[in-house]
């Protein structure tokens, strides 16, 4: 599977898109490099929500079911893949679950590279991110 590798950055209370980590830079990237206030980089996951909006690390997404649960997308260092954790009464940032991006089946329990659940087709929409919408985390 090939996908576009791209980043965004949270810097000085503003989200900046199409950030290049290496290989040329824009004026804003030059300013970021010289600043004492370092940006937080977030990578594009390769997924889009049901409205076609790109899903990035740090995005808060709504689960497409009757519960309308909220999820935060993160990179799982131990898992070596994109993961999520729940927000709300069941939420715990220490309990993360892998996202499976390499299967055509809608649901997959166990057996597939240790994945808990395939949600590729179940992210209803990106409703914000942890930097611009901290109120959604509560």
Question: Which residue in the block uniquely carries the two structure tokens 């970021």?
Answer: 32
Give the residues across from 97 on adjacent strands: 84
Taking alpha carbons only, the member of 137, 17, 1, 27 closest to residue 73 is 137
CA distance 16 to 132: 12
CA distance 71 to 74: 10
Determine the pLDDT at residue 72: 92
Report residue 123's pLDDT band, with 50, 70 and 90 as the boundaries. confident
Determine the pLDDT at residue 102: 53
pTM of the model: 0.76
Q: Which stretch, 19-23, 26-30, 40-44, has highest mean pLDDT?
A: 40-44
More confident residue, 111 or 91: 91
If you average pLDDT over every residue of the chain, what do you get?
A: 75
Report residue 39's pLDDT band, with 50, 70 and 90 as the boundaries. confident
Query: What region, left, alpha or beta, does residue 83 occupy, with left being phi > 0 and alpha being psi -120 to 50 degrees?
Result: beta
| pLDDT tens per residue across span 7-16 | 898 988 999 8
Question: Which residue in the block uniquely carries the two structure tokens 């950030």?
Answer: 19
Give the residues across from 41 on adjacent strands: 9
């Amino acid at each position: 599977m090939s996908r576009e590798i791209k980043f965004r950055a949270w810097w000085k209370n503003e989200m900046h898109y199409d950030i290049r980590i290496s290989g040329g830079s824009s004026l804003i990237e030059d300013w970021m490099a010289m600043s004492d206030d370092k940006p937080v980089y977030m990578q594009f996951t390769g997924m889009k929500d049901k409205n076609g909006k790109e899903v990035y690390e740090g995005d808060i997404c709504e689960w497409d079911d009757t519960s309308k649960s909220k999820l935060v997308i993160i990179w799982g260092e131990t898992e070596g893949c994109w993961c999520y954790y729940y927000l709300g009464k069941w939420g715990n940032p220490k309990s993360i679950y892998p996202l499976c991006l390499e299967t055509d089946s809608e649901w997959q329990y166990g057996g597939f590279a240790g994945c808990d659940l395939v949600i590729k087709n179940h992210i209803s929409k990106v409703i914000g991110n942890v930097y611009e919408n901290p109120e959604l985390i509560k």
